[in-house]
Structures are given as C-alpha cells and as structure tokens.
Structure 1
Amino acid sequence: MAIYVKGALGSFSGKLGNVVGSNWRSIDYLRSLPKPSKKAATAKQIAHRSKFALVIEFLNPLRSFINMGYNDSQERKMTAFNRAVRHLLPKVEGQYPDFSIPYDDVRLSKGSLKTISPLVTKNLDGDLDITWDPTVNPLSSEADDLVYFIMYNEATKDYFLYQDAIREDGEDSINPEIMGQGELHIWSAVSSSDGSKRSNSSYFGSLTLL
C-alpha cells in the first residue's frame, strides 16, 4: 500500500486494472489487489474466519455507539470499531464450529472516566430497577455524566440502548416489555455531558425475561 499525492486531475478513487485507489482519514492510498489463492483454506483459517464473522455479527449493530465509545486520542491508526473487534476476537470461547461470545469480556466503550457498577433487579411491576453509587470523584467523574445501559437479548439477538439518567441520579428504571423473552445481558457505560470523554464499559451480568 502506498500514499500518493494528487495530480493535476485530482485524486483517483476506484479500481483500475489490479490497482485500487481509496481514501481514509483524508489520506489517499493506492493498493494492489490481492492475488487469488488456488490453495484450499486450512482448518485453522476456516476456524479464524468463523470466529471473525461471529464477532462482526455481534458488534455490528452497535457500530455507531462503539465509534463514540472508543474516542480516546491515543489510538488513531485504527478505527474505533476495529479496536473493539481486536479486543474481543482473541477472547471468543469454544472450538470450531461451536464458538460463543464471552459477554463479560465484551468492551463497548473505553476511556478514563470512572465507571459505575450497577445493581439490576426486577420489581413487582416487571420493570428493571437499576441503582449505582452516585459518588463523584473530581479527577475522573462529574455529577452530570451521562449513564448508558446497553441490553442484548441472546435469544433474539436484539440490542436496546438507553440513556435517561446522569451519574448523580444513582438510579433508573426501564420497562423491558419490548425486549421479548430470553436471556438479557446488560452493560453500562458513562460519557461526559459533552461527549468528549468515556468510561470503560462494565458488564453487569444477565437476567431472564419471561
């Protein structure tokens, strides 16, 4: 792959012979197309592709949230989504073809803000009551930090993203009626009010919706 400088006719984008022109982060690139392989994929390659496809399928619905959640300035050579994939891929459990996502190792957000450790219970009305410690540390948190809850129904593979509370509230309540039945996995994450800072996401665990 090579970086190139625009000529008199401007930058080139697209395919020309065995060369492809593209742009990433305002940088123009030329790269050659890979030569087709006549060799059959090895068992290891097939397993890796299956594992990679599982991770992409799992994270892709949250791509927009992940792109906001990995907004630290120290790793700009890789997209936020690719960093989330890189983190999760080696942690996938099981053997081909029975791979599974280790939900407690999923990282949907990364940053220096203080995380919260929510306690989630289901009340008599069926709502999810969520509580956390609202204590503020001036070095790593603010009272008006936005609190996010990310919920994933393992049976339906649907995600639900909620943001109704701030750190100082210390509590929130969510009606799970639209989430269907199944095992519900729950993560939390925190963002500064202006969105410039994030916390690491935190996995609460799961509960069963009937």
Structure 2
Amino acid sequence: MAKLTDLLAFSGAVGDMVGCKGPHGFYIRSRPRKSHKEPTARQLEVRARLALVMGFLKPLKAVIHLGFSATNTTRTKMSAMNAAASHVLNHAIAGEYPDLQIEPEEVRLSRGMLQGLADVGIGMLGTSVDVTWSTEPPQFIGYPDDRVTIVVYHPAEKTVMVGKVSRDAGAVSVDVSDEPTGSELLVYACVSDRDRKEFSNSQFLGRITYE
C-alpha cells in the first residue's frame, strides 16, 4: 500500500511506480517486473555465487553488524552485511562454476584500523576451543582494554559460538560441547575498542576439529 508523505512524495507502490526514501532523499523508480526469459549462464553463476556467500554469512550476521557498522556511514544492518558480502564475493570464492567454495581465510567479519592479535595460538581442551595471544601492548593503534571477540563457526551446522574478553586477558575458552563430534570448526578473532566504535580487520585463526 502506498502512503502519501507530502504533495509530491509517497512511499510504497502506486501503479507501475514505487516511491522510496533513501539516504539522500525521496526518489521514484519503476516497479520491477518478473521476467519470463530463461536466465543466462552468467545470471545463473551470479545467483549461485550470491547464494553461496549469503548462506555462509547469514549465521554470522550479529558479528558482522558490529564489525562493519563502524566503517559504514549509514550504520545499518543491511549496509554492514552488504559490505561483508561484497568482500567475500570479490576475495573469498574459489573454484569454477558450478563447483564454487568459500575460502574461510579470506572472509572478513570486521573491518577497521585497530591492531589485531599477535602470537595467536588455538587448540582443543576437552569440549572447549582455547585461544591465546600476546598481552604485549600494541605497537600501533590499540589498547590493553580493547575487547576481543573469538568466533567459532560451524558452517555445516550454521552454528556460531562466541567468547569475549579484554585484550590484556591473553586467553579465552569457547565451549563447543553442543557440536557433533568430528565437526570442523572455523575460528576468527575480532578486536574492538571498549566502546565498540573502532574495530580491527578480523583474523582467521584456523580450522580445528572437535573430536
């Protein structure tokens, strides 16, 4: 249903027109029409790439919203996800269509100028993924009370586990006991300042198997 917002502006659909309010003001566009043409090979490839990327990133949307919002002027969940998806589409897809796959080490969950973690180690201890790092003060942009978020992602199950501590803690354990044994887990680190206004580029710490 269209809604009249002033004499010459409306939101919603009216006939073949759609009124929208964007970041730079009101605008009108044509209502999209469903095509009856068969998609081209290129269109099928583009759709497959986008579906692969969004399927990988969707379970991580809460992390991405925080990690990309500081560098997005509009600071919306959609703009954060779009920025993360764009990075994966351009840098983290391997293979030839239709045999495409995500390269986890190239995925980015946060973006910014803060210094990441140094001398990082990961391992399993019982039902927990243990991550350690150097507590030496950052040489560049960073502070001892920065917040470290360790993300353990099981892409096959679409589950995400998170551990949070300060940079100067030097270690954190993330419980993965709910995951099936034999699961291959992906481990990432994101660092933010204490106010979560500045972030580091996320770091892929490696793959680990929950035995």
Q: Same fold (TM over 0.5)?
A: yes
TM-score (norm 2): 0.85
CA displacement 1:1-46 (0-9 Å, x = unmatched): xxxxx524x8522111111122334733321123443432111210
CA contact (8 A) 2:147 2:191 kept: yes
Aligned mates of 1:61, 1:183 — CA distance in 2: 16
Which range moves more in the overlay, 173-182 or 20-29?
20-29
Q: Which residue of 1 aligns with 2:160?
A: 159
Aligned mates of 1:81, 1:102 — CA distance in 2: 18
Deviation, structure 1 residue 121: 1.2
Counterpart secondary structure, 2:168: helix
Counterpart secondary structure, 2:53: helix
Aligned mates of 2:128, 2:36 — CA distance in 1: 56
Aligned mates of 2:151, 2:68 — CA distance in 1: 15
Aligned mates of 2:12, 2:71 — CA distance in 1: 30
1:171 is aligned to 2:171: yes
CA contact (8 A) 1:71 1:198 kept: no
Identity of aligned residues (%): 32
Q: Which residue of 2 aligns with 1:33?
A: 31
Q: Which residue of 2 aligns with 1:69?
A: 67
Amino acid paired to 1:16:
V
Aligned mates of 2:195, 2:173 — CA distance in 1: 24
Amino acid paired to 2:145:
D
> What stretches of structure 2 of length at least 5 have no aligned partner?
none
Counterpart secondary structure, 1:149: strand
Amino acid paired to 2:64:
I
Counterpart secondary structure, 1:177: coil
Deviation, structure 1 residue 140: 0.5
1:102 is aligned to 2:112: no
Aligned pair in 2 of structure 1 residues 138, 120: CA closer, same or farther (>3 Å)?
closer
Aligned mates of 1:22, 1:115 — CA distance in 2: 40
Aligned mates of 1:155, 1:99 — CA distance in 2: 16
Q: Which residue of 2 aligns with 1:58?
A: 56
Counterpart secondary structure, 1:174: strand
Counterpart secondary structure, 2:143: coil
> What stretches of structure 1 of length at least 5 have no aligned partner?
1-5
Aligned mates of 1:154, 1:35 — CA distance in 2: 35
Counterpart secondary structure, 1:82: helix
Amino acid paired to 1:27:
G
Counterpart secondary structure, 2:178: helix
Alignment RMSD, CA only? 2.4
Amino acid paired to 2:173:
S
